[in-house]
Chains A and B, each alone.
Chain A
Amino acid sequence: MTLLLAPVVLPLATAAICVLLRKNRGFQRPINLLSCLALAYVGLLLLTLVEEQGVQSVQLSGWSAPFGISLVADRLAATMIMLTGIVASLVVVFGFSDLSFGEEKNGHPVFVQALLTGVCGAFLAGDIFNLYVWFEVMLIASFGLLVVGGLKPQIDGAVKYVGLNLIATTAMLAGIGLLFGATGTLNMADLHGKLLGNMSEPGVLAAASLLLFAFAAKSAMFPLYFWLPAAYHTPSHTTSILFAALLTKVGVYTLIRVFTLVFDVQHPLLQTLLVGSGVATLTLGIFGAMTETIARRVLAYLVMVSIGIMTLGIAVGTPAAIAGTTLYLMQTLIVTAALFMAVGCVAHLAKTENLPEMGGLWRSHPLMGALFVIIMLGVAGIPPTSGFWPKILLIEALADAQRWGLVLAVVIGSLATLYAVMRLFSAAFWQDVNTDETPNLDLFRFAPVLILTVLVVGFGLFAQGLVDTAKASSVNLMNPSVYVEQVLGGSK
């Protein structure tokens, strides 16, 4: 299936074109935007194809499955690609006015496209070594995005980010090596068959722990979270939105993929690790979000809260819990982007990111305030926004599994999230103001926030489609035989 190549080849080709046109902003901007829109469209086509004909796979260079490189798209992957395309398009538009001239000239669009290549590659990878390669592509691109502004705090944040991520990818490589030694294959579908019932072999378990370590670092789980608050507030808002919406979610996505398809998440050791780490991530995220005074650092800790909640869902691992987690993953992509973008607007209006110095925006920009309230409800998971449904599904699943402690953790996490965003809101909009002049909000900043808010409410009111997709993809994830058959026995 040629369509499967598009999410990888399209951003890569756009990156090449953007390098050639790096001096010419007039060409670079529309091409960048068009490519992201095309990515969203490809995701939609892929999703309809998967809905109609089941899991799709393609073997690169014509070598058949366990030996060649497989790209596989199931419902979850296709949905994630579509959402990635939508968010990326809006972020690119936001960047038109948020990015400085220097950042655009220094190759911000190129790195964005390279990042999208890595993200989509990781969503589609059917081979665990291939997954590692896409992680590297993502890492290099995100390093570029962090330092493209060239300021000292950016370099500082980038060093922490790259340092920890290099350790994580090394651990991943070691885990992959062990896995290959134990089974003789790296294709995830093939691994599924070979590992069935062999989960307690020391080599396999060691490999699983190393991979868990790597994915945990990628998704900023405890105790490997500290790079996230250190790095997310240093670059331009455009970069922060992109990172918050995509990078940690890729970590969670691979966690779901690998620990349903390859390893058995119900193994007691893995489950204990995941539960402990999830609760710790949630708790630290809450404390951080409550005490921080720089807007984007608060948001970074809020991202950790959502990561913690998703980790708990994966840890419990029942079909209902996985359904809740996948739905959470899908909607958090949109909501996180919306929140970071709204804060980007607020920081632009208030000319500062420091909460005590903000204020008075309710009087000058009531519309922005209204959007902020809606997004805030979405983040906290209050109806009628999209954040409500995954939390209900998750809490229901956790209660069914008799994990009452975890139910409590999710509820406290949601309430604390609400408190943290309300703190942000009252600081930015209600606090007494020192200066009367606030700049105007231009269309390039406002329109993407508006669209994202509409999406947040829309997914809340018309949740059935997304809930069905999440439930169906969790059924697929829990019964990997269709996936395995398609990859190993499918089209050549």
Chain B
Amino acid sequence: MNSLVLSTVTRLLAPLLLVFSVFVLLRGHNEPGGGFIGGLLAAIAFILINKAEGTRTARRALRILPLTLASIGLSCSIAAGLWGLLSGGAFLQGIWPLIDIQPDGSKSGIAAGSILLFDIGVYLVVIGSVTGIYLALEDGIARSMD
């Protein structure tokens, strides 16, 4: 598709969607959001780029092959589970290395740990598989049109 309006808007919207997807990913820690929905938002950004500029640009914007991205994500999630097993004693247990618990019971520090790593893994799996399926379908349509 060759539309000036779409490609101009995409140049604005795609980065915005990507930043928003990371925001949703981090927000999911305590509130609605999370890796799955964040990943879908990020995938929409790449699908938009594909609609405006074609599959080649979309693949270049992704930098890594979609399935490789999904595989890295899956590895991250497994690693998060094993992290909990090794330092917490149970698979998938939440580990918070950056949080200190004060003597009065209050907590301080950054709430980033194995659960965030797990969610990032989900985020990457969703981006990888959704864009992978979408780009494969686009390739199939392009091939059938030739």
Cα separation A158 to B74 with both chains bound (whole Å): 26
**Is A22 part of the binding interface, using a Cβ–Cβ cutoff of 8 Å?**
yes
Q: How many Å from the CB of B43 to the closest CB on chain A? A: 17
- In the complex the two chains form, is B85's CB within 8 Å of A5's CB? yes
Binding-face segment, B6-14, B46-54, B63-71: B63-71
The 8 A CB mask of A39-80 against B (1 = contact, 0 = none) is 000000000000000000011111000000000000000000
- In the complex the two chains form, is A12's CB within 8 Å of B74's CB? yes
**Is B84 part of the binding interface, using a Cβ–Cβ cutoff of 8 Å?**
yes
Q: How many Å from the CB of B98 to the closest CB on chain A? A: 19
Cα separation A12 to B92 with both chains bound (whole Å): 14
**Is A269 part of the binding interface, using a Cβ–Cβ cutoff of 8 Å?**
no
Number of A-B contacts (CB under 8 A): 45
Total chain A interface residues with beta-carbon distance under 8 A: 17
Q: A22-B67, A61-B84, A62-B88 are in contact. Are A16 and B74 (CB under 8 A)?
A: yes
The 8 A CB mask of B74-86 against A (1 = contact, 0 = none) is 1100100110110
Quick one: closest B residue to A15, CB to CB? Answer: B74
Quick one: closest B residue to A12, CB to CB? Answer: B78
- In the complex the two chains form, is A19's CB within 8 Å of B67's CB? yes
- In the complex the two chains form, is B78's CB within 8 Å of A16's CB? yes
Q: How many Å from the CB of A249 to the closest CB on chain B? A: 26
**Is A13 part of the binding interface, using a Cβ–Cβ cutoff of 8 Å?**
yes
- B82-130 at interface with A (beta carbon < 8 Å): 82, 84-85, 88-94
- A249-274 at interface with B (beta carbon < 8 Å): none
Summarize A's interface: helix, strand, loop or mixed: helix
- In the complex the two chains form, is A59's CB within 8 Å of B90's CB? yes
Cα separation A5 to B93 with both chains bound (whole Å): 13
- In the complex the two chains form, is A61's CB within 8 Å of B74's CB? no
- In the complex the two chains form, is A61's CB within 8 Å of B92's CB? yes
Q: A5-B85, A19-B68, A22-B67 are in contact. Are A62 and B93 (CB under 8 A)?
A: yes
B91 proximity list for chain A (CB < 8 A): 2, 5, 9, 58, 60-61
Q: How many Å from the CB of B50 to the closest CB on chain A? A: 22
Quick one: closest B residue to A20, CB to CB? Answer: B71
B78 proximity list for chain A (CB < 8 A): 9, 12-13, 16
- In the complex the two chains form, is A13's CB within 8 Å of B75's CB? yes
Cα separation A15 to B74 with both chains bound (whole Å): 9
B88 proximity list for chain A (CB < 8 A): 62
- In the complex the two chains form, is A60's CB within 8 Å of B74's CB? no
Quick one: closest B residue to A68, CB to CB? Answer: B90
Quick one: closest B residue to A69, CB to CB? Answer: B92
Cα separation A58 to B90 with both chains bound (whole Å): 8
Quick one: closest B residue to A2, CB to CB? Answer: B85
A59 proximity list for chain B (CB < 8 A): 90
Quick one: closest A residue to B90, CB to CB? Answer: A62
Cα separation A20 to B70 with both chains bound (whole Å): 9
A2 proximity list for chain B (CB < 8 A): 85, 91
Which residues of B does A touch, CB under 8 Å? 67-68, 70-72, 74-75, 78, 81-82, 84-85, 88-94
Which residues of A does B touch, CB under 8 Å? 2, 5, 9, 12-13, 15-17, 19-20, 22, 58-62, 492
Complex A-B: 5 CB contacts under 8 Å: A2-B85, A9-B78, A9-B81, A16-B75, A60-B92
5 tightest Cβ-Cβ pairs between the two chains A and B: A62-B90, A19-B71, A16-B74, A61-B92, A62-B93
